[in-house]
Amino acid sequence: MSRPEPELPPNSAMPALRARIDALDARLVALLAERSALIDEAARIKARENLPARIDSRVEEVAANARRLASAHGLDPDLAEQLWRVMMEHFIAQEDRVLSAPRQA
């Protein structure tokens, strides 16, 4: 059984805060879409240069960068690393799909 939704007081600051969060989420999604397009470009370069989708040293470099940037911005570095590792696995799979597709002559 689900709990009833709590009612916000008439003068609550939550709607305005939620609107800011939603706007930030939209920006994050746009940035992830931009990153995805860059990954497609990386996959084309890797195909041309005969490189694999996964390059472990680069994965670790990106994870370390995420931790460092998170710390610098007051974000939990463990959270940043975890998010980036999930994201990297997704994008490596995306590269793999491009690299394993039949090449056009």
Residues 6+ apart with CB under 8 A from 32: 87
Q: Is the pLDDT of residue 105 over 70?
A: no
Residues 6+ apart with CB under 8 A from 92: 53, 54, 59
pTM: 0.85
Give the separation between CA 71 and CA 77, rounded to whole angstroms.
6
Q: What is the mean pLDDT of residues 72-80?
A: 98
Q: What is the pLDDT of residues 12-42, one digit of tens each?
A: 999 999 999 999 999 999 999 999 999 999 9
Q: Is the pLDDT of residue 3 over 90?
A: no
Structure tokens at 76: 């939990």
Specify the pLDDT at position 104. Answer: 64
Tell me the Cα Rg of the chain.
20
| DSSP element (H, E) containing 103 | none
Q: What is the mean pLDDT of residues 3-18?
A: 93
Mean pLDDT of the chain: 95
Burial (CB < 10 A; 0-12, 13-18, 19+), residue 43, is buried
